[in-house]
Structure 1
Amino acid sequence: MDLTRTLIIGNSGAGKSWLARRLAERLDAPWVELDRIHWLSDEHSIPRTRGEAMGMARLAASRERWVIEGVYDVFVRELLDRATALIWLRIADAECVTNIRQRERGTPPDDPRMAAMLAWAAGYRDRDGADGWAAHRQLFEGFAGEKVVLWERGEIIRLAGSA
């Protein structure tokens, strides 16, 4: 699989960042988190303007090598033509929720942002719109390049180790 310019999609908590970081290190390529492009603040409450964020995404994808990950269909669609590989992490929603809880240990259980993030991950397969399972399926099916679906953590770990 040619991972020179890899896009990774999937639910929040599926392991996109974990995999992207490891692939980028092994490939000596920049790792780009679409969350950092989409959100202006670290608290994920203030989005950038669509034009500014899209410009940043296009600039990142203009490089010769990269690993870009995120849930945002609108950016991924824009970058697909430059990608050499597409990886879809289709981890069970319940596992994604558990992963978020582990990742966010120390966050107060009544934190409204945490509750929103958990609800977001739990609703991935039922969510309408650009950032849900159906939109990702459509992206994946329409991609003409090399692609793979990873269903469980072990498959993600193996891919990270073999790149």
Structure 2
Amino acid sequence: MHPVLPLADLGRRIVIFGPSNAGKSTLAEALARKLGVPVVHLDQLHHTPNTDWVPRPRDEFHALQREAIAGDAWVMDGNYSALVEERLARATGAIVLDDNHWLRLGRYFNRTLFQRYRPGALAGNKDSIKWSMIHWVAIASRRNAARYRQMVEATELPRVFCSSMGEVKSLHRAWGLS
């Protein structure tokens, strides 16, 4: 990671991209607390509360996301590509996270089996281990961070790229996040 941008340079509408279990939601909550702005977890908008990650109808999800990005200030984590251009157009700063896929897979098992509350969880906490998610984390999403990085680099937004959990922890220290 290069020298850390001052947090103020990212503004008050920050998007966080990265593969599953890279730490997006945890970072989003810490940033939102520090900035005193709402946190928006796209997973919570995309999935129906009190279910084991059942998606909402697409139109409903899109309406919820458009309502969220219309706000004056927010930290928003998630990737969902359908409306990413609208998100980037409203954002004042961007962060892209990445990490080793095996470490992310370990975090998936830990959060699903042992964390009763975690940032970004659905209301009702009915999470379970799913083969489709294991495949997604270990195989299918391995190169997604490079795609997110390219999307952000195509904008004029102030940006931060972290390629490991160590770099994310450095952000926490540099920005005084709790």
Report the TM-score range of the alignment, normalised by the length of the smaller protein: 0.7 to 0.9
Does residue 1:90 correspond to 2:102, yes or no? no
- Normalised TM-score (structure 2): 0.77
8 Å CA contact retained: 2:52, 2:128: no
Stretches of structure 1 lacking an aligned partner (at least 5 in a row): 127-131
Counterpart in the other structure of 2:135:
119
Aligned-residue offset at 1:112: 7.3
Distance 1:13 1:5 in 2: 22
Counterpart in the other structure of 1:153:
165
* CA RMSD, Structure 1 to Structure 2 (Å): 2.1
Distance 1:91 1:3 in 2: 25
Count of matched residue pairs: 154
Counterpart in the other structure of 2:152:
140
Counterpart in the other structure of 2:41:
33
* Residue number among 58, 70, 86 corresponding to 1:50 in the alignment: 58
- Normalised TM-score (structure 1): 0.84
1:91-144 deviation per Cα after TM superposition (whole angstroms, max 9, x unaligned): 12111111111212259xxx9743221211112135xxxxx3454243222222
Distance 2:147 2:65 in 1: 19
Stretches of structure 2 lacking an aligned partner (at least 5 in a row): 1-8, 116-126
Going from structure 1 to structure 2, the CA distance change for 1:158 and 1:106 (only over 3 Å counts) comes to: closer
Which residue identity does 1:44 align to in structure 2? W
Among all aligned residue pairs of Structure 1 and Structure 2, give the percentage whose two residues are the same amino acid.
32
Which residue identity does 1:125 align to in structure 2? R
Distance 2:168 2:18 in 1: 12
